[in-house]
Structure 1
Amino acid sequence: MNKTATALPEDWREGHFALRIEGADGPQAIALAGGQAFDMTPAFGTVSAWLAAEDPIGAIAARGEPVVIDMPALLAGGGPARLLAPFDLQALKACGVTYVRSMIERVIEERCRGDATQAEGVRAEFRAIIGEDLTALRPGSPEAMRLKENLLARGWWSQYLEVGIGPDAEVFTKGQPLSAVGSGAHIGIHPASAWNNPEPEVVLAISPRGTILGATLGNDVNLRDVEGRSALLLGRAKDNNAACALGPAIRLFDAGFTLEDIRNAEIALEITGPEGFHLAETGPVGSISRDPTELVDQLVNPHHQYPDGAALFLGTPFSPSKDRDAAGMGFTHHVGDVVRIASPRLGALVNIVDRTDACPPWRFGIGALMRNLAQRGLPRA
């Protein structure tokens, strides 16, 4: 298997997908339906405008223009076109601390103040207090509030526990519209960070009306030592050049693929290092503490709207902690790591780790997109 090749699900010819490619004249919004490709750009201009339509799937046959795409070459990254992140003007939002495992790791980061050498001791101490299994604990419930009081009494309260078991979810901005990279691209780690990791996640496609339209895969790259120093450094830890990867395509909900498939999905993470390091882990999406619909309700509501739609990271079922450079030091990235995030119904998102200042700089923003669409005589959202 080519470790750097992107993959669509094995049943992609039976589903409906939204993807973006870099064409000769600029980005194209492409639909896949029944194994055929359709260019949605002449009708809508952007993926965000297409997915804002009343019936995005119905619009494929009604308004899409059939095109021929060499899918094997596109997925292998060797053709004239390349995959882009499947979202364009949508807000890039993310939920944090939605899984018990990731909540524990966030508390550890905070208690360590970003010092990885202390992680194993803090992890053992915390588990001795809370036990091994919090998966049945519903955030905001009376049981969760009693645990909160117990932790407060022991001096163990944390802002991560507040959003992990409290009534309000953590929802933050991962990056700006158009800043995400697609499958096959390099992802960035800031060279000042010595403790960092990928965060494999399911990412929902949300319409301006708050409807969940489908899902894709995402890598919410995180600088653990930076966020561990202070939660107020979340933006510095999360929003960096090429530090948000999405793809390979948004699988739209239809008769054969629904939100229940997301609830029952598993995410697999594989990291292959240039020095021979190998890590493989899996995690169930269904172990999430809050149902995806609850997270969407906390994102889109009468108090907050997203007129161009949104991409919503659901949070990671796990953060890799396998020792890499020394015993007790846990995991951190090396330049050259190949990161593969996969799920059977969503495909595989594959990226190569590099320094943020060595990844291609982000220069194609909203203004550039609007100018490009105007030059091509296409709808501007």
Structure 2
Amino acid sequence: MQVNWSSQALPVDHADAVLAGRVLTPQGPVPVIVRGGTVESVIAHAETTSDLFDMADPTAVSGEALCAVEDLGAAGSDARFQLLAPIDLQCVKAAGVTFAVSAIERVIEERARGDSAAASAIRAELEEKVGGGIRSVVPGSDDAARLKTALIDAGMWSQYLEVAIGPDAEVFTKTPVLSSIGWGGEVGVRSDSTWNNPEPEIVLVSDSRGRTIGATLGNDVNLRDFEGRSALLLGKAKDNNASCAIGPFVRLFDGGFTMDDVRSAELDLTIEGTEGYTLTGHSSMREISRDPEDLMRQAMSEHQYPDGFVLFLGTLFAPVQDRDEPGRGFTHKQGDVVSIRAARLGTLVNRVTTSKAAAPWAFGIRDLMRNLADRRRAAA
């Protein structure tokens, strides 16, 4: 896919931001810092973004000028410098059902058994009976426990409501190390899925010590028909070739951008179809049911991440507008262009294809290690 870089991809205050990422050069991938419109290679200080984020102060690292930010192209393009997903060795984790709307939609999928045609009537019933209750309680609280008892008594309980209002968040592994798609790349949905959608989210980035060092944008593509048939199909619904997009850059925390800015972030989504179809959506992090720091703590409560990890925080977006047949809601079509924007994080843009048609994932951990070793020998 040919996507031209635009200044709109950068944060509105990019002149004051320190951005980190990865760029594919003719020699191989390099971690970069972006300041004032210049892309700096910092491979002399850190061979991977995992190393970069582990530094005491990644915002203080400077490197060798590589190119202007306008010279970056999408992976697979003919650009000399191609923008990759801004992470490499980090584990990719995701939290689900962290917004009331998404909780209701997951219950709808479950009750509809993945049949989009049945969703409309179920949605109206659930919204009337449980919508207000889910929005008003703090997960894990005494009020949430009482609501759970009432819903069980009413025959309305669901495994999705358990992670929506219970003490334990849903945290799962989204995709393998090094398989994420960056800005401009093609994002994939399974070719046998007929009910699916993007999930625009903020993604937090942690170093190996569990210190949250920044944030970026992500698209946690969701197959509603697969997960709706059975929650045990989560792996097939979530982890497929090209099914995870992250980028364009990680904005590093500093005096001008902190976790409070994540908590107050507003996300805008635009989907543009090849047939002229347009869908827009909005998500406010102020409506998240669990604090981002609590989700990070739960992700690492009994796990270590020696190369760091990233965590998708969940989405409020659950499209219900009909695209084709009345009552069947929204689903992707090949060629859809998905744009996810947050003013202080920039814009992540990807075109939709199938996981089979997307470029195969071919550059893994062994390839990265061999590439770095070859470059060390060449520099010796």
TM-score, normalised relative to structure 2: 0.95
Give the deviation of 1:5 after TM superposition: 4.6
Equivalent residue number for residue 118 of structure 2: 118
| Structure 2, unpaired ranges of 5+ | none
Change (3 A) 1:234 1:131: closer
> Counterparts in 2 of 1:289-300, with a 5 A limit?
289-300=289-300
Matched, 1:228 2:228: yes
> Counterparts in 2 of 1:244-255, with a 5 A limit?
244-255=244-255
CA contact (8 A) 2:5 2:71 kept: no
Equivalent residue number for residue 362 of structure 2: 363
Residue type of the alignment partner of 2:21: L
Equivalent residue number for residue 51 of structure 2: 49
Change (3 A) 1:378 1:276: farther
Question: Secondary structure at 1:377's aligned position in 2?
Answer: helix
Equivalent residue number for residue 22 of structure 1: 24
Question: Secondary structure at 1:332's aligned position in 2?
Answer: coil
Change (3 A) 1:133 1:341: farther
Give the deviation of 1:41 after TM superposition: 1.3
Question: Secondary structure at 1:308's aligned position in 2?
Answer: coil
CA contact (8 A) 1:183 1:349 kept: yes
Q: Higher mean Cα deviation, 191-200 or 41-50? A: 41-50
CA contact (8 A) 1:36 1:66 kept: no
CA contact (8 A) 2:24 2:83 kept: yes
Residue of 54, 67, 70 corresponding to 2:68: 70
- Separation of aligned partners in 2, 1:366 and 1:274: 36
Give the deviation of 1:209 after TM superposition: 1.2
Question: Secondary structure at 2:249's aligned position in 1?
Answer: strand
List per-residue Cα deviations over 1:208-261 (Å, max 9, x = no partner). Answer: 111111100000001110000110110000000000000000000011111111
Change (3 A) 1:359 1:378: farther
Give the deviation of 1:3 after TM superposition: 8.2
Question: Secondary structure at 1:311's aligned position in 2?
Answer: strand
Give the deviation of 1:283 after TM superposition: 1.1
Equivalent residue number for residue 260 of structure 2: 260
CA contact (8 A) 2:134 2:165 kept: no
| Structure 1, unpaired ranges of 5+ | none
Change (3 A) 1:4 1:326: farther
Equivalent residue number for residue 176 of structure 2: 176
Residue type of the alignment partner of 1:28: V
Residue type of the alignment partner of 1:187: V
Q: Higher mean Cα deviation, 91-100 or 30-39? A: 30-39
The number of residues matched between the two structures is: 373
List per-residue Cα deviations over 1:287-344 (Å, max 9, x = no partner). Answer: 100000000110123x211110011000012122211011110100000000000000
Matched, 1:308 2:310: no
- Separation of aligned partners in 1, 2:36 and 2:335: 36
List per-residue Cα deviations over 1:325-376 (Å, max 9, x = no partner). Answer: 1111010000000000000000000000011111000010101100010011
CA contact (8 A) 2:113 2:229 kept: yes
Matched, 1:281 2:302: no
- Separation of aligned partners in 2, 1:75 and 1:345: 21
> Counterparts in 2 of 1:324-343, with a 5 A limit?
324-343=323-342
List per-residue Cα deviations over 1:84-129 (Å, max 9, x = no partner). Answer: 0001000000000000011111010001010000101110111121
CA contact (8 A) 2:40 2:67 kept: no
> Counterparts in 2 of 1:78-89, with a 5 A limit?
79-89=79-89
Residue type of the alignment partner of 1:343: A
Change (3 A) 1:162 1:378: farther
Give the deviation of 1:79 after TM superposition: 3.0
Equivalent residue number for residue 199 of structure 1: 199
Residue type of the alignment partner of 2:375: R
Question: Secondary structure at 2:261's aligned position in 1?
Answer: helix
- Separation of aligned partners in 2, 1:219 and 1:240: 13
- Separation of aligned partners in 2, 1:365 and 1:299: 24
CA contact (8 A) 1:4 1:350 kept: no
CA contact (8 A) 1:265 1:285 kept: yes
Equivalent residue number for residue 166 of structure 2: 166
- Separation of aligned partners in 2, 1:247 and 1:111: 34
- Separation of aligned partners in 1, 2:261 and 2:304: 26
Residue type of the alignment partner of 1:157: W
CA contact (8 A) 1:98 1:164 kept: yes
Question: Secondary structure at 2:135's aligned position in 1?
Answer: coil
Equivalent residue number for residue 91 of structure 2: 91
Residue type of the alignment partner of 1:24: P
- Separation of aligned partners in 2, 1:151 and 1:245: 36
